[in-house]
Amino acid sequence: MRIDDLRVFLLVAEHGSLHRATEHLGQTQSALSKALARLEADTGMRLFERTSRGVTLTPVGQSLLARARNVVLAARDLEGEVEAQAAARSGKIRLAATPYLFSWLLSPVIARFLTGRPLATFSIETRLSLGSILALQSGEVDFACGGMTADVPRDVSHVPLGPLRLQIVARTGHPRLGALGTLENLAQERWALPQASSSLYQVLADQLAQWGLPPPVVAVEWTGAGISIAELLRSTDLLGLVPQRTLAQPEGRGLSVIAGQDVLRQPEVALLWRTDGYLSPLCREFREALAGFCAEDGTAVG
């Protein structure tokens, strides 16, 4: 049974489609079909049911799923450990992070880190908090960096980095700007927010719920990362949540603060890693450097 075939199996199970899996993996559909055929031949049983909409796991496939994931993660950890021992202080650190943390937090830490470790390399993906955690669990990255959500898995460890200081904002010319200072009025407005599983959405929804108010009415929702809502907010009467430091940047031009730290609970930003996963000496050193940077500067996050 080949590790690469198990990787294909996990990817197809995740996407529920050979076509979508090929786009993610960059291989042909024929190559993926052959890998699945080998795996089914090795097990002697069908692992997927083919339908017009894609593929679904058979009961045998469901039972194989968790074990296959453990095998693939263990193989990745072994590969990482071997590479780390061979490369000593060189090597790659793989990060998934929310985009607003890159420029203010990760970028200065990485710049300082590379001064002392010039052979180190970084691979960084921008995702919302939940997407970063999923990438971490699947072994795609060594660390996830983002806001702590209510559903952080038990197999993930973290170190807190500080609060993300959020502000509720609207365009400066918003017709109801002066009347939006209470949660009751905010609950009646329409919003541009990330998906409900994100830490930013949870902060606002939890605050409204504490006052017996319904969740925010979302007019524009996004599920990916790297989205800048400032121009959207400047062009509409939608409300949004932005980190405090955004308002001091050109991106914050034309936006006015409605409510912030005195109204909203400030979410905790954390660096996360798999509790039982392998971290190279270089990764552990970077984790210490990031935590130390935030301890030096209490305003480093938000």
Establish if 302 belongs to a structural domain.
Answer: no
Whether 145 and 180 map to the same domain: the answer is no
Confidence band of 121 (pLDDT split at 50, 70, 90): very high
CA–CA separation, 267 and 164 (whole Å): 6
pLDDT at 178 over 90: no
| Predicted confidence (pLDDT) per residue in 16-35, tens digit | 777 777 766 667 778 878 88
Mean predicted lDDT score pLDDT of the chain? 83
Mean pLDDT of the region 113-140: 88
Q: State the pTM of this model.
A: 0.62
Task: Kindly state whether residue 69 falls inside one of the protein's structural domains.
Answer: yes
Same domain, 29 and 65: yes
Task: Between 224 and 258, name the one with better pLDDT.
Answer: 258
Same domain? For 186 and 251 the reply is yes
Residue 209 lies in a domain: yes
Greater confidence, 144 or 181? 144
Percent of the chain residues past pLDDT 70, beyond the cut: 89
- Predicted confidence at residue 82, as pLDDT, reads 67
Q: Is residue 234 part of a domain?
A: yes
Q: Would 301 be classed as within a structural domain?
A: no
Mean pLDDT across 38-53: 80
The answer to whether residue 112 sits within a structural domain is yes
Is the pLDDT assigned to residue 300 strictly greater than 70?
Answer: no
Residues 201 and 170 in one domain: yes
pLDDT band at 70 (very low <50, low <70, confident <90, very high): confident
Query: For the chain, what is the domain count?
Result: 3
Q: The domain that contains 207 carries what CATH number?
A: 3.40.190.10
Same domain, 19 and 52: yes
pLDDT at res. 86: 54
Q: What is the pLDDT of residue 226?
A: 52
Say if residue 301's pLDDT is above 60: no
Are residues 35 and 152 located together in one domain of the fold? no
pLDDT score recorded for residue 24: 66
Output the domain CATH number for residue 71: 1.10.10.10
Answer yes or no: do 175 and 218 share one domain: yes
Mean pLDDT across 230-259? 87
Domain range enclosing 74: 3-84
Whether 215 is in a domain gets the answer yes
For residue 295, is pLDDT > 60? yes
Report yes or no: 154 and 274 within 8 Å, Cβ to Cβ. Answer: no
Mean pLDDT value of segment 272-290: 92
Is residue 113 situated within a structural domain?
yes
| Residue 56 predicted with pLDDT over 90 | no
pLDDT at 220: 94
Q: Which pLDDT score is estimated for 261? A: 52
